[in-house]
Amino acid sequence: MDYITSIAIIPLLVGCMGIFGLFRFLQWIRMKAYIQDSVVVITGATSGLGKECAKVFYTAGAKLILCGRNNERLEELIRELIATNIKKTHRPHAVVFDLAESKTIVPAANEILKYSGHVDILINNAGVSYRGTIMDTALEVDKKVMETNYFGPVALTKAILPSMIEKKQGHIVVISSIQGKISVPFRSAYAASKHATQAFFDCLRAEVEQHDIEVTVISPGYIQTNLSLNALTADGSTYGVMDKNTANGRSPTEVAYAVLTAVGKKKKEVMVADLLPCLAVSLRTLFPRLFFYIMAMRARKERKGKTS
């Protein structure tokens, strides 16, 4: 590179970096303004990803409505958030209901709307996983997983949506999973509930675009939470094991920041996962036969591991 070229390239590079930095800064300001003072409802706030989302959205200045089944744990989280002494925040509010009990959802949505007047961002995070073979699993278990992960979020979304449409503003977020895009053996009920979730919220996105309502589907890979400990098994009992994949997953704080960023940037969907699960999603689309073969091998290996 001659002297003339280098003196022309250096200011160009510095200029590009400056423009990029300015762009990122403006994006950050816009994200902050979007979250600050917004009414944000988070389901499943008592543990794992929901609890970490509560922390990051609280720090970003949101007016939180935290939902869960256990009032004591929600109040404990609220005390924990208030104790962080962050400036310009709002006292979070707890709403207790069970997503698997369909009759509790409309009253809960009414309680939320009565308290806050409206909802800016609804984060459908709560969920339960499952371990078992299709042959051994009681239909009641399939239904319970579906009620919690699919019908519950659908009912809550439908109950909140009219108020968003009236305001011509709102953002609906759902925490799906990589298993909303690919199915792995011995997760039938869970993968089915997450595939249904992906489909429903993709339809919703298209239908509510006319009302300026955003829909974000987040598909994480493994996260270090209690998901496997709380998973249901074939007979409906709790699995109670911390799986290796879960223990080695991403930190829930990291994933909660990814949720905040996706919401702030109004992303339509994001996968928050390592390279292998992302490649597996592409493999399922591009080379389905190879993907099915790998899954069958995986099932065979896992079955062998259990019997030996």
Looking at the annotation, which residues are catalytic? 190
Give 283-289 contacts, CB < 8 A, sequence gap 24+.
284/181, 284/182
Stretch that binds ligand NDP, among 13-21, 157-165, 219-227, 297-305 (CB under 6 A): 219-227
Tokens of 163: 């108020």
Give 233's Cβ-side CA count (13 Å radius).
7
Distance CA 193, CA 199 (A): 10
8 Å CB contact between 197 and 156: no
User: Can you tell me which of 34, 41, 42, 50 binds ligand NDP, judged by CB under 6 A?
Assistant: 50
**With CB cut-offs between 5 and 8 Å by kind, which of ligand NDP, ligand LVWHZ4SM, none does residue 69 bind?**
ligand NDP
In the complex, least distance from residue 275 CB atom to ligand NDP, rounded to whole angstroms: 16
Tokens of 51: 């609890």
Does the footprint of ligand NDP cover residue 92 (CB under 6 A)? no
Q: Which is it for strands 63-68 and 93-96: parallel, antiparallel or unpaired?
A: parallel
Closer of 243 and 254 to ligand LVWHZ4SM (Cβ): 243
User: Can you tell me which of 38, 116, 137, 148 binds ligand NDP, judged by CB under 6 A?
Assistant: 148
Task: Write out the H or E segment, with its range, that includes residue 36.
Answer: none
Closer of 35 and 189 to ligand NDP (Cβ): 189
Does the footprint of ligand NDP cover residue 116 (CB under 6 A)? no
Contacts of residue 298, defined as CB under 8 A and 6 or more positions apart, other chains included, come to 184, 185
8 Å CB contact between 186 and 131: yes
- Chain positions contacting ligand LVWHZ4SM, by CB under 6 A: 129, 177-179, 184, 187, 190, 221-222, 227-228, 231, 243, 245-246, 273, 276-277, 279-280, 283, 294
User: Can you tell me which of 77, 81, 96, 126 binds ligand NDP, judged by CB under 6 A?
Assistant: 126
How long a stretch of residues is the chain?
A: 308
Question: φ, ψ for residue 162 (rounded to 5)?
Answer: -55, -35
Closer of 89 and 176 to ligand LVWHZ4SM (Cβ): 176
In the complex, least distance from residue 247 CB atom to ligand LVWHZ4SM, rounded to whole angstroms: 10
Tokens of 97: 């209901």
Closer of 61 and 220 to ligand LVWHZ4SM (Cβ): 220
Question: CA torsion, points 240, 198, 102, 187, in degrees to nearest 10?
Answer: -30
Give 142's Cβ-side CA count (13 Å radius).
12
Spatial CA neighbour of 158 closest among 210, 199, 102: 102
Contacts of residue 36, defined as CB under 8 A and 6 or more positions apart, other chains included, come to 60, 61, 62, 88
Does the footprint of ligand NDP cover residue 69 (CB under 6 A)? yes
**With CB cut-offs between 5 and 8 Å by kind, which of ligand LVWHZ4SM, ligand NDP, none does residue 184 bind?**
ligand LVWHZ4SM
In the complex, least distance from residue 208 CB atom to ligand NDP, rounded to whole angstroms: 21
Does the footprint of ligand NDP cover residue 157 (CB under 6 A)? no
Stretch that binds ligand NDP, among 64-72, 161-169, 201-209, 283-291 (CB under 6 A): 64-72
List contacts with ligand NDP (CB under 6 A): 44, 46-50, 68-70, 98-100, 125-128, 148, 175, 177, 220, 222-223, 225-227, 230, 246, 249
